[in-house]
Amino acid sequence: MLKWIKKGLIYNVDGSSDWAHSHVHKPTPILINNATLRIFFGVRDIKNRTRTTFIDVDPENPRRIQYIHDRPCLDIGKIGAFDDSGANVSSIVKSGNKLIMYYIGWNPSTTVHTRNSIGIAVSYDNGVTFQRLYDGPILDRNKDEPYYTGAVFVDSSPNGGWNMWYTSGTIWKIIEERPEICYHIKYASSENGIDWTRKNISCIVPSHEFEATARPSVIFEDEVYKMWYSKRDIRNFRTKKENGYRAGYAESFDGKLWKRLDDLVGIDVSENGWDSEAIAYPFVYLINGRKYMLYNGNGFGKTGFGYATEDTKN
């Protein structure tokens, strides 16, 4: 069993900025050089719209903040586009001299509270600025997946090509007179990182009809794919601590067929404080052979994000 040692809160906004007013969603790291880890995340403005920005930290001690960016590196999209109300980073891939960002584009719907799709943007300055490749999404609802497309993780495959694990909505259920989306994690593949083949391959199937699984994070280690993800109940998850987000864990030999091993995840909510109600959107990565986990706590990023490290003595 992998055990995690919590190291505390890294960063949160203070409410003084109009564009970075509240919440820090889905921390997503990339190593810029041996001395700098750049952590991208979404922030909400005073109108509840999300933009992506970043901070730089010490790779081995992320609480040691080196730099806080003072503007979005990816702003909201054009009016009427899939991302005109939100552009939230989900996955960053380094490819040659550029960074590729896969992000969640958001705008409100009429009958339900959200419509999500996945966009792509590219940076040639290590993420200081990103430019969209397209005004439209690269992953959206389709004839086989008609409801919702959420957070993704993308990497290059050891066998060539690209892998994507993505959040796919299966149905909206009415819970206490409010529609709530059911979703779980699926797999897609690509030859170029832009055009994706989806064969309706389910990876992290909910354990019951009211469970949602989302926001995958994957590493390939010892010939095994290892995934950390979020899981929660769609009932009363905003009001009941026990129904909120927790971290899950699974393993796979091919990246498609997964075995859930949630009992081995090795991290849970604290007794009090910023992560006492939820462990949300965990993202696991390696620095000098040691595993680190970035994650959100209470309120879907309202209390900021922090980190934990692998307990190497366990």
* Contacts with 68 (C-beta within 8 Å, 6 or more apart), sequence order: 11, 55
Question: Nearest to residue 188, comparing CAs of 144, 221, 233?
Answer: 144
| Token digits of residue 113 | 């509270």
Residue 38: Cβ-neighbour burial (10 angstroms; 0-12, 13-18, 19+)? buried
Radius of gyration, alpha carbons of the chain: 18
* Contacts with 272 (C-beta within 8 Å, 6 or more apart), sequence order: none
Round to whole Å and give the CA distance between 158 and 172. 36
Note if the pTM is more than 0.95.
Answer: yes
> In terms of residue numbers, what domain contains 275?
4-310
Which CATH number characterizes residue 134's domain? Answer: 2.115.10.20
pLDDT tens per residue, range 209-226: 999 999 999 999 999 999
> Total domain count for the chain?
1
- How confident is the chain (314 residues) per 10-residue block, as mean pLDDT? 93 96 97 96 97 98 98 98 97 95 95 94 98 98 93 86 96 94 96 96 96 97 96 94 96 97 97 97 96 97 97 74
